[in-house]
Structure 1
Amino acid sequence: MIIKTIIENTAISDKFQNEHGLSLYIETNKHKILFDLGKTDLFLENAKKLNVNIEDIDLVIISHGHYDHGGGLKKFLEVNTRANIYINKHGFEEHYSKRPTDIIEEIGLDKGIKNNSRIIFVDKYLRLDEELEIFSGVKNNNLLSKSNNVLLMKEEGKFIKDNFNHEQSLIIKDNDKLVLIAGCSHRGISNIIDKFIDIKGEEPRYVLGGFHLSSPSYKKSEDPSLINEIGRYLKSKDTFYYTCHCTGLVPYNQLKDILKERLQYLSTGTCIKI
Structure 2
Amino acid sequence: MKISMLMENTTEIPGFLQEHGLSLYIETKGHHILFDTGQTEGFAKNARRMGIDLQQADIMILSHGHYDHSGGMMHFLKCNSDAPIYLRASALEPHFSPAGKEIGVNPAIGLCGRLHFIKDNFSFEDGMRLITLDEENGEDKISAYGFSALCGGKKVPDDFRHEQYLEIRENGKNILFSGCSHKGIWNIVHQLHPDVLIGGFHFKDLPLNTTGKRMLDAEAERLMKENTVYYTCHCTGLEQYRYLKAIMGDRLHYLSAGQTVEIG
Q: TM-score, normalised by structure 1?
A: 0.90
Describe how 1:130-145 pairs up with structure 2 within 5 A. Answer: 130-138=126-134, 139-140=136-137, 142-143=139-140
Residue 191 of structure 2: aligned partner = 195
CA distance in 2, matches of 1:29, 1:57: 13
The Cα offsets for residues 97-119 of structure 1, whole Å up to 9 and x where unpaired, read as 132xxxx1110001112132211
1:226 maps to which residue? Answer: 215
- Quote the offset at 1:143 in angstroms: 4.7
Q: Find the partner of 1:156 among 127, 149, 152.
A: 152
2:120 to 124, 146, 154: 124
1:55-105 superposed Cα distances (whole Å, 9 cap, x missing partner)? 111101100000000111111011101211101121101100132xxxx11
Cα RMSD (Å): 1.7
Report the residue type matching 1:236 in the other structure: K
Q: Name the residue aligned to 1:211.
A: 201
Q: Which amino acid aligns with 1:211?
A: F
Structure 1 gaps of 5+ residues are 197-202
Closer, same or farther: CA 156–182 of 1 in aligned 2, 3 Å: same
Q: Structure 1 residues 82, 97: CA separation in 2 closer, same or farther (over 3 Å shift)?
A: same
Q: How has the CA–CA distance of structure 1 residues 145 and 7 changed in structure 2, closer, same or farther, with 3 Å as cutoff?
A: farther
1:135 partner letter: I
Aligned to 1:84: 84
How far did residue 158 of structure 1 move?
2.6
Q: SS where residue 187 of structure 2 aligns?
A: helix
Instruction: Check conservation: 1:145, 1:213, Cα contact below 8 A.
Output: no
> 2:30, 2:126 within 8 Å by CA — same for their partners in 1?
no
The answer to whether the aligner puts 1:35 opposite 2:35 as a matched pair is yes
Q: Which amino acid aligns with 1:80?
A: N
Distance 1:179 1:190 in 2: 16
State percent identity of aligned pairs: 38
Aligned mates of 2:260, 2:137 — CA distance in 1: 33
Comparing 38-47 and 227-236, the one that deviates more: 227-236
- Shift in Å, 1:140: 3.8
In the TM superposition, what are the counterparts of 1:42-53 in structure 2 within 5 Å?
Answer: 42-53=42-53
How many residue pairs match? The answer is 260
Task: Write the deviation string for residues 98-157 of structure 1: whole angstroms up to 9, x where unpaired.
Answer: 32xxxx1110001112132211111121001123100113424545686x4321112333
1:214 is matched by which residue type in structure 2? K
SS in 2 for 1:109: coil
